[in-house]
Structures are given as C-alpha cells and as structure tokens.
Amino acid sequence: MKFGLFYFANDSTVDSEGGRYEILIDGAKFADRNGFSSIWTPERHFHSFGGLYPNPAVLGAALATVTDNISIRAGSVVAPLHSPLRIAEEWSVVDNLSGGRVEVSFASGWHPVDFCLNRDVPYVDRKQIMMRTIDQVRSLWRGNSMEVVDGANQSASVRIFPPPVQPELPTWITSAGEVETFRIAGASRSGVLTHLLHQDIDELAEKITEYRTVARHEHGDWTGRVAVMLHTFLGDDREYVRGVVHDPMCEYLKSSFHLIARSIADVGPDFDIDELAEEDIDFLVGRSFESYFNERGLFGTVDEAARTVERLRDIGVDEIACLIDFGVDGKVALDGLQHLNELRQRFSDR
C-alpha cells in the first residue's frame, strides 16, 4: 500500500501566520523526505470549500520546486472547463520543473456554476467531453499536432512546448462512485481516484473488481491502479484524536453541505436543501462525522488505522490519498504526519 497527501481545504478566507499555503508546502516537504508516493491538489472554483485550489498546475509548479521525489498529481483537472492544449501545455511545464514526476487525474465536473468558465460546453455532455479531452491531451503529450482554427478563421496545426519529460502522461479518472466511471477508466488505461463519500468499502470492492476485469480484457497484463481519498488524522490516543478533529471536521462538512447535497442526483425532486432548519443540518452533519470517524476515514491510533488500510488493501486499493487540511490547526495537522508516516512504514514492504 502506498500513501500520498491530498488537499481540499476550506480555509481560503483565513490567513494563518505562515500563510494560506503553509500546510501544503510543509506537508509536501515532509512527504518528499519520508517516502510518501504522491501529493494531490484539486481544481475548485467560486467557493471557500476547496477555494485555495483553483488551478492544480500552478500549485504543482510550486511543489515541483520544493520536492525531489514525490509524484505531483492533479486531483483533479476538470477537463470540460479547459482547452486540451492549455492542459497539456501547463502540465508539461510542471513535468519539466519536476524532472518527470507529473500525473493527472481528470474529472468531468460536479457543479454547474463552474461551467461559466467554458460556456461552449454543455453541462449534460461533460463526461463525453472529458474522455475526448483525455485522448487529445495524451496525443499532444506524445508530440502530435492538433488541428485548430485560428483568430483569423484559418486552419492551423499546433503542438505544445516545452516537450514534456515523460513520453507518456500517467492518467487517472476521478469517480464519485459510479461503476460506469470505473469501467471507463479501465478501458482507457487510466487509474481511478475515488473516495468513500457516497459508497462504502463493500460497494467499492465490487467496483474495483469490475474495473480490473475491464482493464485486463482491454490491456492484457495491465490491471490498473486505484487510489482512495480518506480524511486523515492519527495520534497516540483515539479520544485525543476525536477531540482534535470533531469540531473542525463538523465545520468542514457543514461548509460543503449545500454544495454536495445539490450535486447528488438521487436526493429526490421534492428535496430542498434551503428549507432545512439549522438544527436539522447540524443533526445530519453530526451523523456524517460519526460515519467518517468510525468507518470512512483514517482516524484514531496507528493500530486502528492499520486495520482500515488492511481492509482496503484486501479489496484491491493500491494507494491511500490522505486528506489532511480539513480544518485542524495547521501545526497540529503537520505534527500528526509523524503518526501517518509510522503507518506508511508498516505497509512499505507488504
């Protein structure tokens, strides 16, 4: 099992003493020194939830200059919002700055307002556009040209500069849990980046089996890669950890409650998030916290977390992307990486 760090903060309006990106930069340096596999930054727009991360390529470029070993990953690039030329150009720069350590997870997008950045893309067609964009970015990455229409309405053939270090771009596809996305990733020779927000471990196990079946059928001995994002904080004592994470995690969940509820298609036509009373939201957030703390995150002691890791390993997960910036004080969160590294070491040779 490999371990990476994942970021999705909800503190973009708060400036800490060391700056808003201190936990990102210092966490990356720690992970780079201690054998972690990756560092993931997302793409988010127009909301404080995740608002520190509007462009993972920009942050990836910064991370490339302060690390030497760790894989620098987008988690994710929202493909329909961008020209494939721009995606390929930006990440080729990061690939050069990092000496060939770039990997990109592509997403189709989950919030309609983000699509104001590219009004030419219908929201309902976002998944098909994502797959087309992945193919185009891969082709450009290999040095191929792309036919375009220029500003004078003339045809032109262009390719990206600088050329990337890696001959092939390692790709992932981000899935919120739809099994069809797992199948698409397997067919396209992409890894899967997923989470446990809308699925439990048993459900995930079935999807991983489907993913690897498709991957083997399409690509022979290639069986794919699966990374699972988990909210993470470890310590010497379970109750201490609960005390540290309870209030920040509840505030974090509450801050995203409206966004996530509106993005779930099966909540029902009569469900109106704005009609919920504050105490109802608090009740639902409290239940969600218990689910994350006990089942869907890496919380508690190293021994307790190891049991979760073993269960995920047994269903075919290759890597855990540990989300550490969910509101816990930055210094406390960074200190907790010592315990996470102990967990990583337990699984480094298994």
CA distance 73 to 219: 23
Task: Indicate if the pLDDT at residue 152 is higher than 70.
Answer: yes
- Express each pLDDT in 312-326 by its tens digit: 999 999 999 999 999
HSE, side-chain direction, 13 A CA sphere, residue 71: 21
- The single residue listed with the structure tokens 């307790």 is 304
> What burial letters (b/e) apply to 60-87, b meaning 16+ CB within 10 Å?
bbbbbeebeebbbbbbbbbbbbbebbeb
pLDDT score for 282: 74
Per-residue pLDDT for 13 more than 70?
no
Parallel, antiparallel or unpaired: strands 226-234 and 191-195: parallel
How far apart (Å, rounded) are the C-alpha atoms in residues 131 and 120? 17
Q: Residues of the chain with pLDDT > 90: what percent? A: 74
Q: Which residues contact 15 (CB under 8 A, 6 or more apart)?
A: none
**Nearest Cα to 23, choosing from 298, 345, 247, 332?**
332
C-alpha 260/C-alpha 285 separation (Å) is: 12
For residue 229, give the H/E element and its range. strand 226-234
Q: For residue 142, is pLDDT > 80?
A: yes
pLDDT at 284: 76
Percent of the chain residues past pLDDT 70, beyond the cut = 90
Average pLDDT, the chain: 91
- Residue corresponding to tokens 């792309």: 146
For the chain, what is the radius of gyration of the CA atoms? Answer: 20
At 93, list the tokens. Answer: 């720069």
Q: What's the angle, vertex CA 52, arms to CA 252 and CA 278, rounded to 5?
A: 25
Burial 43-56 (b: 16+ CB within 10 A, else e): bbbebebbbbbebb
Please state the rounded mean pLDDT for residues 194-210: 94
266 pLDDT exceeds 80? no
Predicted confidence (pLDDT) at residue 184 exceeds the cutoff of 60: yes
Cα separation of 281 and 187, whole Å? Answer: 40
Residue 315, token pair as written in the block: 């269903």
CB of 253 within 8 A of CB of 288? yes
Q: What is the mean pLDDT of residues 243-268?
A: 69
